[in-house]
């Protein structure tokens, strides 16, 4: 994007270098209303929705991001990394909305899906509102002990 200023051209350049199946969505802070997507041999609607929701979260569009994450049918998602991403991002959204209980609930669900990724991601600044909560500190400590075993 930096070279051309055109999100579509940037996406085309990126996908030409990729191999295999993929689904990509991209937004840029300078063009928040524009979404560019590319797909090759992949019906990963849940993954694409998750990526788009994460982009909206990055742009601080919390309501849209939350709605997208919550629209996913979790009962059919088997990929633990995708479940982690959904729950972790919802935890971030709830932290930014200063809803500590829901934030912690989603972070616990993220930890159940992928404890290693959750522990690695707990430094995310989007969790600053919940970071000093006793429940957050306990979750962090439990994950650290789990990883050491």
The neighbouring-strand residues paired with 24 are: 38
Using DSSP's 3-state secondary structure scheme, residue 61 falls into coil
* Mean pLDDT by groups of 10 residues along the chain of 149 residues: 80 86 80 78 71 89 91 84 95 97 98 96 96 96 93
What confidence score (pLDDT) does residue 41 get? 59
Distance, CA of 6 to CA of 50 (rounded, Å): 23
Which residues in the chain belong to E strands, given as ranges? 22-28, 31-40
Any idea what DSSP says for residue 106?
A: H
On whether the CB atoms of residues 68 and 53 are closer than 8 A, the answer is yes
pTM above 0.75, yes or no: no
Which residues in 22-132 belong to E strands, given as ranges? 22-28, 31-40
Q: Which pair of tokens denotes residue 43?
A: 């019906």
Using DSSP's 3-state secondary structure scheme, residue 121 falls into helix
């Amino acid at each position: 994007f930096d070279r051309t200023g055109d999100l579509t051209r940037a996406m085309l350049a990126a996908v030409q270098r990729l191999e295999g199946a993929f689904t990509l969505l991209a937004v840029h802070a300078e063009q928040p209303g524009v979404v560019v997507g590319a797909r090759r041999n992949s019906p990963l609607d849940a993954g694409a929705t998750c990526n788009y929701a994460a982009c909206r979260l990055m742009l601080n569009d919390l309501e849209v991001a939350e709605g997208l994450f919550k629209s996913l049918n979790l009962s059919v998602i088997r990929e633990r990394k995708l479940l982690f991403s959904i729950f972790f991002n919802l935890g971030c959204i709830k932290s930014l909305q200063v809803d500590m209980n829901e934030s912690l609930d989603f972070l616990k669900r993220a930890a159940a899906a992928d404890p290693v990724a959750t522990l690695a991601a707990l430094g995310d600044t989007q969790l600053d509102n919940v970071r000093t909560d006793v429940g957050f500190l306990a979750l962090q400590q439990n994950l650290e002990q789990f990883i050491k075993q």
